[in-house]
């Protein structure tokens, strides 16, 4: 039933030229040596098992859609999509998940839960990297977003470094030139940057990731402690009521106020009104290319175009730096190498 509802939601929500997306996925995957239907002989029900388990997970905790999507992002930007973000630290190594930008990641238990189901059905066959890629797609579909085909065959990395994560993840405080440089290093362009920023339609953020905009900005006259002028003042006032200080770790703010559990285009309407939560959101209005896209999607007339663009960018991101063939391994448990 989980897969059936997933598929019907996908058909209802996307209404995209799916054939074109299949082509996009296939051509992008060929470069990365991935393929649609990779497990058709070794674990034919793999996608169905992931879909059914995800339906239960999201039904019980709809707010997990954003965190699961974010896990996949944070995985792909460090060492490629190799599930290195899932590895636990050991005595001799601090892993990615313990890097400062990853301290607020959630959803690890859900990944283990899905992986355990797959291990019961097809031991040692489906990689954690593929599990996380499928779960992030299903999370979007279940939040009323688009469906896209996922090419499979990623293998799991054996290394994970907090230092690499701190150096390579796009910072929430980044401007477009810095973010564009980080994206380009992963083979992603400026359009991918503004499109994938739309993932901020889902989920919440802790105060430390944006509160410097409320308290620690230096004004034009050199005065310190003013509100970031690129932030709408009324919105800033609301945020200050929630976040009493830069170090307030208890309060959460919705990244897309009013619909943070639904995948839609309202994020772009907030950004267009100078109500993007992060500096990286507001920065999209300071570059001509990204601003044009924000303002176009913000009209609400191009939702299907955004859904198609998001699908294509997710396909591209899911192919970044993947291990295939004899590279890496197929982990039995996602939190530890074999």
Reported as a single tens digit per residue, the pLDDT across 99-135 is 999 999 999 999 999 999 999 999 999 999 999 999 9
Q: Decide if 199 contacts 69 (C-beta within 8 A).
A: yes
Bridging pattern class, strands 252-254 and 204-206: antiparallel
- The domain that holds 197 is classified in CATH as 1.10.520.10
Domain assignment present for residue 243? The answer is no
Quote the CA–CA distance of 288 and 284 in Å, as a whole number. Answer: 8
Q: Decide if 70 contacts 199 (C-beta within 8 A).
A: yes
152, two tokens: 């499979």
Active site residue 206: no
Q: Decide if 22 contacts 36 (C-beta within 8 A).
A: yes
| 3-class secondary structure, 334 | coil
- Report which of residues 261 and 163 the model is more confident about: 163
**Residue holding tokens 């690129």?**
230
Q: Decide if 98 contacts 138 (C-beta within 8 A).
A: no
> What does the DSSP 8-state code read for residue 171?
P
Domain assignment present for residue 241? The answer is no
Reported as a single tens digit per residue, the pLDDT across 157-193 is 999 999 999 999 999 999 999 999 999 999 999 999 9
Domain assignment present for residue 232? The answer is no
Domain assignment present for residue 244? The answer is no
Quote the CA–CA distance of 98 and 58 in Å, as a whole number. Answer: 25
Domain assignment present for residue 23? The answer is no
Domain that holds residue 284: 45-203+255-319
**Residue 256 marked ligand-binding:** yes
Nearest to 322, CA basis, from 79, 95, 30 = 79
DSSP-based helix, strand, coil % in the chain, nearest 5: 55, 5, 40
pLDDT at site 166: 96
Domain assignment present for residue 286? The answer is yes
**Residue 264 marked ligand-binding:** yes
The count of domains in the chain is 1
**Residue 72 marked ligand-binding:** no
What is the model's pTM? 0.90
Domain assignment present for residue 270? The answer is yes
Domain assignment present for residue 333? The answer is no
**Residue 80 marked ligand-binding:** yes
* Active-site residue, from 72, 74, 206, 270: 74
**Residue 201 marked ligand-binding:** yes
Reported as a single tens digit per residue, the pLDDT across 68-78 is 999 999 999 99
């Amino acid at each position: 039933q989980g897969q059936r509802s997933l598929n019907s939601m996908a058909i209802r929500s996307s209404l995209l030229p799916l054939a074109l997306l299949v082509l996009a996925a296939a051509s992008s995957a060929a470069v990365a040596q991935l393929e649609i239907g990779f497990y058709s002989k070794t674990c034919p029900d793999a996608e169905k098992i992931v879909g059914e388990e995800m339906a239960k997970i999201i039904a019980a905790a709809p707010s997990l859609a954003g965190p699961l999507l974010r896990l996949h992002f944070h995985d792909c930007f460090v060492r490629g999509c190799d599930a290195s973000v899932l590895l636990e630290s050991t005595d001799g190594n601090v892993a990615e998940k313990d890097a400062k930008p990853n301290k607020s990641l959630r959803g690890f238990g859900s990944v283990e839960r899905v992986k355990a189901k797959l291990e019961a059905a097809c031991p040692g066959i489906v990689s954690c990297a593929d599990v996380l890629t499928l779960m992030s797609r299903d999370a979007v579909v279940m939040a009323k977003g688009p469906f896209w085909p996922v090419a499979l065959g990623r293998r799991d990395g054996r290394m994970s470094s907090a230092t690499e994560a701190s150096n390579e993840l796009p910072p929430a405080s980044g401007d477009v030139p810095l973010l564009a440089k980080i994206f380009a290093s992963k083979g992603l362009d400026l359009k991918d940057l503004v499109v994938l920023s739309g993932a901020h339609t889902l989920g919440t953020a802790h105060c430390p990731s944006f509160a410097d905009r409320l308290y620690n900005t230096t004004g034009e006259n050199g005065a310190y402690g003013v509100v970031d002028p690129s932030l709408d003042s009324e919105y800033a006032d609301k945020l200050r009521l929630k976040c009493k200080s830069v170090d307030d770790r208890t309060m959460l703010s919705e990244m897309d106020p009013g619909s943070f559990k639904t995948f839609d285009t309202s994020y772009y309407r907030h950004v267009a009104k100078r109500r993007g939560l992060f500096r990286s959101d507001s920065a999209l209005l300071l570059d001509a290319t990204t601003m044009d896209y924000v303002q176009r999607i913000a009209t609400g007339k191009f939702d299907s175009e955004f859904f198609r663009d998001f699908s294509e960018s997710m396909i591209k991101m899911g192919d970044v730096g993947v291990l295939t063939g004899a590279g890496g391994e197929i982990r039995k448990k996602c939190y530890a190498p074999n």
